[in-house]
Amino acid sequence: MTNNNKPSLLKNTLNKLRKTSLPLAQNASLAVAVGTITGNSVLFSLPLWAMGAVKTLTGHPLADKSVLKIANHWINTNNRLIENILPDIDFRINLPDDLSVDGKYILLSNHQSWVDTTVIQYISENRLPLTRFFAKYELLYIPIVGQAFYFLDFPMMKRYSKTAIAKNPALEDRDIIEAKRACQNLLDKPFTLLNFIEGTRFTQKKRDLQQSPYQYLLKPKAGGIALALGALGDNLDAVLDMTIVYPDGIPTYQDLWQGNIKRIGVDIQKIALPDDLLQRLMDGKYQQDEQTKKDMYRWLDGLWQQKDQRIQAMLDDFTRHP
């Protein structure tokens, strides 16, 4: 993906500075990014809170649409930083032609770095609806971010300890019921529900400890995606599988805003779940039926084997065409 716009004055200045004093340019780029993202967060949070309060008190659909518009402007403004302060990144993107900002999607992805979320937001602009994900209930108490999650209908999860569940077994079912309800709250609007089904960021050490059968991936976890598919089921336009690669090594978030990332590969595929398995998930059988669990893991294993091969092919492409 090439940015055809004329480079901004700031970008030209930073590019010139990189040629004479790379550390100074990196620190300047990082400072601009952090300052702008922080400023945007404060600027956009105020109208988002205002419209979010109206939405909560009245339930009016116009308030809901206004909240979404504000959030999209917030994200898109941050996306402009990638184009206006960073050196040009070699984005190699493959995705379906018929994605829509008005669609309803579940998006699965591998997970290597906090940079992944920024890449997903950047790639999704004008292609996919606002990305949401399962968030811990405790995040509601974080200023700005927590309230944004609430007003934007992020599915919030309460995690109960094994000790608490042992004292009150009903808590185990309550978490599942609340998560399903939160998913179903999305059905009256476009959405992309993101799930990093490895459950954590990939590292070679984690892979070795897991004895993962995949070269570039950790073992997938089925519970969260089974719950989402069961709650949203045949209301979805598609289930999408996103693969992200960093051919020059897994970056940190600081690497991104210092301009150290030169190449990124992104592939999105539509994937199909067997009709019988989807129906069983919608019937709530994942929690009770061992065969349904086995079939879900078998489906994910096949998907992950293909993804592992796709990662290798994407890396090979960067090697052949640096």
Instruction: Give the max Cα distance, the chain.
Output: 64
Sequence spans of domains, the chain: 1-88, 89-320
**How large a percentage of the chain has pLDDT more than 90?**
70
* HSE of 25, CA atoms in CB hemisphere, 13 A: 18
Residue 5 has a pLDDT of 64
HEC profile for 247-276? CCCCCCHHHHHCCCCCEEEEEEEEECCCHH
In this predicted structure, the answer to whether residue 212 has a pLDDT above a threshold of 90 is yes
DSSP type of residue 137: G
DSSP type of residue 5: S
CA distance 200 to 8: 37
In this predicted structure, the answer to whether residue 181 has a pLDDT above a threshold of 70 is yes
In this predicted structure, the answer to whether residue 2 has a pLDDT above a threshold of 90 is no
Q: Which amino acid is at 126?
A: N
Residues 6 or more apart whose Cβ sits within 8 Å of residue 305: 214
CA distance 11 to 36: 14
DSSP type of residue 252: P
Residue 307 has a pLDDT of 98
CA distance 117 to 123: 10
Which two three-digit tokens encode residue 82? 């990638």
Residue 1 has a pLDDT of 54
Distance of alpha carbon 8 from the chain centroid: 28
Whether the model clears a pTM of 0.95, i.e. scores above it, the answer is no
Identify which has the larger pLDDT, 240 or 40: 240
Query: How many Cβ atoms sit within 10 Å of the Cβ of residue 142?
Result: 11
Average pLDDT estimate for 134-145: 82
CA distance 250 to 202: 9
Secondary structure of residue 279 in the 3-state scheme: helix
* HSE of 103, CA atoms in CB hemisphere, 13 A: 19
Residue 3 has a pLDDT of 54
Name residue, tokens 């078998």.
Answer: 298
